[in-house]
């Protein structure tokens, strides 16, 4: 079994990284994708199977990371998966723009292995999002997951114990709206790296379906313009009926607190009073002078 090691003294485990054997539509081998989803440990492997079924049409790269010496996730042996070539772990993410790491928030070995994966993806200058699933009846331990991903993740998202495929797909799509920059420009991110958790457990608890919108703007009024364009794209009547929204704001290091306030005011004035709003911030030089707003909105019907 191929081992991926790290020099980080916090990491005691090696990991085995695997890819689908038949991957003509899954991004690898031979078809590198700008979106890479890594399932770590038993929980990550289970959700990865769901995402592969839902997302195969996009051409996403799917990888499984098994903790050496830990339990073997179902389905990682036999003819379905194969070990990656013996190369530096960072090479697995050379073409990735967005890397999502799915793992259980209460499996310490999986969290440590996720940090190895996240650090490698960061060296490739990808946007890294940790999708954290709690064990049943247990809340996500904020300090533990923030310590595990410290300095290596652009955002950490707390999911329900049994997240629906639509929620997982919606999160992939909304973060892709932020990560994709045209023309492509690789730049280190210096924003909320390993920042506060974006807890979407309650914000989408009553949502029967999700809608996504995004917009960008430049200039002195870029914040309000980007927010207004995003709302217009979704439809004012629809946003007024939302049960909850995840609002992501991305911009250059020069993005000001006043601009963040402007975006939240525009969005808050457009949604129902009872709707919950979760806010995530991202800073990177790759955005130039552009401010980008992406919204994931949930609806009961």
pLDDT in tens, 32-74: 578 999 999 889 988 988 888 766 556 688 898 887 655 555 4
Structure tokens at 101: 């790491």
pLDDT in tens, 89-139: 888 898 899 999 999 998 888 898 999 899 999 988 899 999 999 988 777
Query: In the 8-state DSSP scheme, what is residue 92?
Result: G
Residue 26's pLDDT is 42
Residue 39's pLDDT is 94
- Which of 184, 3, 158 minimizes the C-alpha distance to 84? 3
**Residues with Cβ < 8 Å from 264, sequence gap 6 or more?**
247, 277, 279
Averaged pLDDT, 287-300: 94
How far, CA to CA in Å, does 106 sit from each of 145, 173, 300? 9, 26, 30
Averaged pLDDT, 237-251: 89
pLDDT in tens, 81-97: 777 776 778 888 988 99
Evaluate if residue 30 carries a pLDDT over 60.
Answer: no
Residue 13's pLDDT is 45
Kind plus residue range of the DSSP H or E element containing 260: helix 257-268
pLDDT band at 172 (very low <50, low <70, confident <90, very high): very high
Residue 240's pLDDT is 84
Greater confidence, 265 or 83?
265
Evaluate if residue 187 carries a pLDDT over 80.
Answer: no
Greater confidence, 137 or 31?
137
Report yes or no on whether pTM surpasses 0.75.
yes
Between CA 231 and CA 233 the distance in angstroms is: 5
pLDDT in tens, 7-17: 433 333 467 88
Averaged pLDDT, 278-296: 94
Residue 56's pLDDT is 54
Evaluate if residue 191 carries a pLDDT over 60.
Answer: no
Residue 29's pLDDT is 42
pLDDT band at 78 (very low <50, low <70, confident <90, very high): very low
Question: In 98-243, which ranges are continuous DSSP H helix?
Answer: 108-123, 142-148, 165-179, 222-234, 236-240
Whether the bond into 262 is cis, omega within 30 of 0: no
Residue 6's pLDDT is 43
Residue 70's pLDDT is 56
Chain position carrying tokens 């399932």: 39
Between CA 167 and CA 12 the distance in angstroms is: 33
Between CA 27 and CA 158 the distance in angstroms is: 27
Neighbours of 17 (CB within 10 A): 23
Evaluate if residue 244 carries a pLDDT over 80.
Answer: yes
Between CA 246 and CA 296 the distance in angstroms is: 5
pLDDT band at 297 (very low <50, low <70, confident <90, very high): very high
pLDDT band at 184 (very low <50, low <70, confident <90, very high): low
Averaged pLDDT, 214-229: 96
Residue 128's pLDDT is 94
């Amino acid at each position: 079994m191929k081992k991926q090691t790290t020099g980080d003294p916090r990491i005691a485990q090696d990991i085995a990284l695997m890819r689908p054997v038949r991957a003509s539509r899954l991004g690898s081998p031979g078809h590198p994708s700008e979106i890479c989803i890594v399932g770590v440990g038993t929980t990550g492997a289970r959700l990865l199977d769901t995402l592969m079924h839902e997302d195969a049409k996009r051409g996403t790269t799917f990888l499984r990371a098994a903790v050496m010496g830990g339990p073997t996730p179902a389905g990682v042996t036999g003819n379905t998966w194969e070990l990656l070539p013996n190369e530096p772990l960072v090479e697995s993410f050379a073409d990735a723009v967005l890397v999502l790491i799915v793992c259980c928030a209460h499996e310490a070995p999986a969290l440590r292995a996720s940090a190895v994966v996240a650090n490698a993806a960061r060296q490739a200058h990808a946007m890294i999002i940790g999708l954290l699933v709690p064990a049943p009846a247990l809340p996500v331990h904020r300090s533990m997951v923030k310590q595990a991903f410290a300095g290596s993740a652009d955002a950490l998202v707390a999911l329900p114990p049994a997240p629906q495929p639509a929620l997982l797909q919606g999160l992939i799509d909304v973060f892709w709206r932020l990560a994709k920059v045209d023309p492509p420009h690789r730049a280190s991110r210096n924003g909320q790296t390993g920042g506060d958790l974006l807890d979407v457990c309650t914000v989408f608890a009553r949502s029967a379906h999700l809608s996504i919108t995004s917009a960008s703007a430049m200039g002195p009024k870029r914040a309000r313009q980007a927010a207004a364009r995003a709302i217009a794209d979704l439809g004012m009547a629809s946003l007024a009926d939302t049960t909850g929204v995840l609002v992501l704001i991305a911009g250059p290091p020069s993005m000001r607190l006043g601009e963040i306030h402007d975006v939240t005011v525009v969005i808050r004035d457009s949604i129902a009073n009872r709707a919950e709003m979760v806010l995530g911030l991202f800073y990177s030089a790759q955005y130039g002078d552009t401010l980008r707003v992406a919204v994931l909105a949930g609806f009961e019907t």
